[in-house]
Structure 1
Amino acid sequence: MVTGLKPEKMAYYKQLHAHAWPGVLKKIKECNIRNYSIYIQKIEGKYFLFSYFEYVGSDFKGDMAKMAADTTTRRWWKETDPTQIPLPEAAAHKQQWQIMDEVFHTE
């Protein structure tokens, strides 16, 4: 997935993730997400966040609904969402992150 990052919020975003809340990490695991990484990249003067994770469950939509209902996760998003600049397609669907199409994978 990909989203923009406000340059003036980069330090705060990094600080939040350097000390991610235990309740958020627990919920991520409970929702069957593993190997979750977020990367920052500057492209043509703008900053972007790229995330990758592996989903190991059988009901992605249900697990994402469970995560969205979690009060700790919702508080976390209140901290992280204002640091981000959703891409136009994501914003049109009232989402922070834009899902990217996978064109290659190997194990």
Structure 2
Amino acid sequence: MQTTYLLHADTGLNLEGLVVEGIYDNGKRERLSVSADNILGFSTENVSEELPVTVVIDGKQASFIIKVVDYVIKDGVLTEVFNERRGGVSSSNRCKGNCFFCFCFLFFQ
């Protein structure tokens, strides 16, 4: 799942790879659907090293952290990505392998 976003990006939160699983008091586990309607806190309006994004389903919630970075584009090419304090270039935070976030919600029947 993408966890680093460019400042003022208009792409929205990429939910690809996000896995949300409900765990019921009877031990049953169920994969739950997540859409943008279930997401709170996502914004690329300000640079942030740790921006909590919350998934809310049926009143239960879990959060994960994303990073919003500033950048430089020269001649149409992304050339530099800065950390929050613009103190240096950050390396790419790309996933290597099978990456996903799994959030478990406890439900009572």
**Could you state the TM-score of these two structures normalised by the residue count of structure 2?**
0.26
**Could you state the TM-score of these two structures normalised by the residue count of structure 1?**
0.26
The structure with the greater share of residues assigned to helix is: 1
Larger radius of gyration: 2
